[in-house]
Amino acid sequence: MTKKTKDWIPTKEAKVLLIGHDPRLQESETIAEYALFADYYFKEEQRAVSEKKKQKFARNSINNILELTKNKFSAENIYVTNLCNDELPKGDSIKEKTVYIPRDKAKEGVEHIKDILAKNPSIEYVFAMSQQVNYWLQELGLYPQQPEFIERSMPNEKGANNNLPYYKPKKDRGFLEICGRAYKINGSKQTIIPILHIKSYSLIIGRYPEYKKCYDNIRKMFK
């Protein structure tokens, strides 16, 4: 029986939905009890190395949203889920690669996200992490498709069909087409903003000025 990660439901009215990738840290076999280990954000300081990593991941993920929105919202307003909350195949051979989310799992995830938004109309902004997550969100109709992004972000067949599937986009630099821009959820007034996965944020922002501009654009939305 595969393990399933639970959504983190905020203690106050949900204003932001943060969408992660899948239940694991990239270099760990641990399945998070709550998406993005969000419960660790609110726990006392952890001492064990493995627990400190989870807490750091949760803090970086949530604090990134608070910083981008200039503290318009509090951590207690952030609802957290993943596109895929189910355990996915993973092994040493793909440790440095991004785990592939199959279409059927992505479809389940999109329906779940639609349900969250319908049940929480107070949510104003959705922040969706990573190229693969946003590819599926557009491909499966959560928000309008951007043709150049879709074309560049299609899963490379070699990775998707590997014994342990991994995600590699068909072409490079596709995420720059949409990162940091605001779109409307189809059939809704809620705004979705694609962002980098937090594990990539510090590395990419430091190396690629184009992404810094994307993030500056987000900050300008929250004056």
Q: How many CB atoms lie within 10 A of CB 144?
A: 11
Specify the CATH number of the domain 16-221. Answer: 3.40.470
As a whole number of angstroms, the distance between CA 211 and CA 48 comes to 34
Query: pTM of the prediction?
Result: 0.94
Task: List pLDDT tens digits, range 146-179.
Answer: 999 999 999 999 888 888 888 999 998 899 999 9
DSSP string, 207-223: H-HHHHHHHHHHHHH--
As a whole number of angstroms, the distance between CA 44 and CA 193 comes to 31
Q: What is the mean pLDDT of residues 33-47?
A: 96
Are 160 and 183 in contact by the 8 Å Cβ rule? The answer is: no
List the chain domain ranges: 16-221
